[in-house]
Amino acid sequence: MYRKEAMPCASILAAANLPLLDRARKLQRLEQAVLQLLPENLSAHCKVMNLKSEILILATTSPAWAARLRFAIPDLLKQLECQHALRLRSIQLRIEPEIVKIQPVKRPPATLSMASATLLAQTAQSVNHPALQEALYRLATRTRDS
């Protein structure tokens, strides 16, 4: 098998025609323009997803923000056409909820008060079952230091 000489990745990418990268950059510029035109409270919950067949697709974080954004769509369409020469037929909305990482709750280890330990020891003395008596005594020794 014949191998060509190795080339650095940077030179391969520089020489390649990257339509996907160009499209991503255009969408990024479009997102910046859209977010500047929207009120600050809406722009924090909105992002550009795609531009396809003169239809701009925006994503919001909840249905409530989508409802607010629907009222801003007519003005947004006019501003995009006037300020950025972008002719759009419509704007569609998608809901993309924010991903919240759930942290497990760290609980302190269970502790036993001295009064509870004394009660367990007294109960163990009155029990006739040897295995249960031993378990109660073992539990009674697990007191907190106080």
pLDDT confidence bin for 63, thresholds 50/70/90: very high
Tell me, what amino acid is at 141? Answer: T
**Could you give the percent of the chain with pLDDT greater than 70?**
92
Q: Helical H runs in the chain?
A: 9-15, 19-37, 40-43, 63-84, 114-126, 130-140
State the pLDDT at residue 146: 45
The average pLDDT across 88-100 equals 91
Q: Tell me the pLDDT tens digit for each residue of 19-57.
A: 877 888 899 999 999 999 999 999 999 999 999 989 999
Q: What are phi and psi of 107, to 5 degrees?
A: -105, 145
State the pLDDT at residue 130: 92
Angle at 113 between CA 111 and CA 117, to 5 degrees: 105
Contacts of 114 (CB under 8 A, 6+ apart): 143, 144, 146
State the pLDDT at residue 96: 92
- Here the tokens at position 24 are 């991503």
Which of 65-74, 102-111, 113-122 is the least confident region? 102-111
Q: What are phi and psi of 144, to 5 degrees?
A: -85, 155
- Answer yes or no: CATH 3.90.79.10 is held by domain 19-95: no
State the pLDDT at residue 35: 93
State the pLDDT at residue 142: 80
pTM for the model: 0.58
- Here the tokens at position 26 are 């255009």
